Amino acid sequence: MAQADDVLDLARRLIAAESVTPARGAVFDVMESMLAPLGFDVHRFVRGEGAEGGDEAPVENLFALREGPAGSRHFAFAGHLDVVPPGGGWASDAFEPEVRGDLLYGRGAVDMKGAIACMVAAAASVPQDAGTVSFIITGDEEGPALHGTRALIDYMGRAGVRPDLCLVGEPTSVNRLGDMMKIGRRGSVNIWIEVEGVQGHVAYPHLADNPITRLVAILAELAAIALDEGTDWFQPSNLEITDLSVGNRAHNVIPAHAEARISIRFNDRHSGASLAELVADVAEKHGGRAKPVISGEPFLTPPGEFSEIVAQAVEAETGITPEASTSGGTSDARFLRAVCPVIEFGLVNATMHKTDEAVAIADLATLSRIYTRIALAALTQHKTA
């Protein structure tokens, strides 16, 4: 495979298959058509509504495996084919990939169809006798992530498949390709707070019970809490108020109900459960109640064999050493870390989720070579305990 030209073609084919989350169908047809000729056994399945009786929209997932010699190492590429809605204002159609100058434009160019194209190009350059290679690809990363990577992990468990190392292709680079890799992420919990009151006329407050007053007290107490000062590898945890709603259209009525939502991104000094309990205690003290939804726990792949493999590959192709970081939002690495050590590394993230998302064509070629080096090194080094 002539990587410079072919990886661009692969990226264009993936972008052209519209796949606003939750993704299914055509974009997975394209992915399968790329992997099957490389010797991968491709398994696709759908979860969600119409699949197993769930209420959510159906989601498609793909697991592809190319087995190496018996007892060989197993290296996994992981990522997502779903994308966020394009929005308006694009200079060209978001799902008609277009090359302008040195850039390829299209929704998913950076996050993360471009990286998946690089993974496919890399797999084509890794001999089958080097070891086992797999692809863990979901259509539900940009959405609720209920029927995506977690379903793939369940499938691998039933099939008795367990990678030794896994690379997620999220766009981790900041200013130039290769300047950052993610060796962990903070956890995430969203909590809905509700307070019930008694509706009444504002001129007769003694006959009513204003829930807004108590909700404000809850939020003020929560906002004043300093959760921690950070750790060696994680920035400080932060609690943010993300919504406040009463819905009262009358100026002379004390409402009967008020609610708010908070989001906490937290490091390994906490768990989702401990923070949910903290918020519930504060809410109950003021007569409210809290409902948490834990999106993920913090995790860290300690610096060592895997991070050295990634760093050496990046240095060989770019001449720079990537910073090992745990900054940013969540990704499906929060699920995959339960299977094996996981690191995220990918393209420059400056245009992800934006209008006119674009990737440097040269970066696609370079990233495919980096991924090839990572896969070969991961498959040939001694098996981790």
Which residues are part of the catalytic machinery? 82, 141
Asked if residue 16 lies in contact with residue 83, where contact means CB atoms within 8 angstroms, the answer is no
Q: State yes or no: 243 annotated in a binding site.
A: no
Pairwise CA distance, residues 175 & 346, whole Å: 12
Tokens matching residue 297 = 């726990």
List, in sequence order, every beta strand (DSSP E) within 6-155.
41-47, 59-66, 74-80, 98-100, 103-105, 132-138
What is the end-to-end Cα distance of the chain in Å, rounded?
34
Q: 32, 28, 30: which is closest to 46 by C-alpha? A: 28
Pairwise CA distance, residues 62 & 358, whole Å: 25
Report the SS3 class of residue 113. Answer: helix
Q: State yes or no: 353 annotated in a binding site.
A: yes
Pairwise CA distance, residues 356 & 105, whole Å: 6
Angle at 291 between CA 285 and CA 294, to 5 degrees: 125
Q: State yes or no: 80 annotated in a binding site.
A: yes
Q: State yes or no: 111 annotated in a binding site.
A: yes
Burial of 175 (0-12, 13-18, 19+ CB in 10 A): exposed
Contacts for 285 with CB less than 8 Å, ≥ 6 apart: 218, 221
Bond before 352 cis per omega within 30 degrees: no
With left for phi above 0 and alpha for psi between -120 and 50, is residue 130 left, alpha or beta? Answer: alpha
Q: What is the largest CA-CA distance in the chain?
A: 81
Pairwise CA distance, residues 276 & 217, whole Å: 18
Pairwise CA distance, residues 14 & 106, whole Å: 10
Q: 90, 12, 42: which is closest to 351 by C-alpha? A: 90
Question: From the annotation, which residues make up the binding site?
Answer: 80, 111, 142, 170, 353
Binding residues for Zn(2+): 80, 111, 142, 170, 353
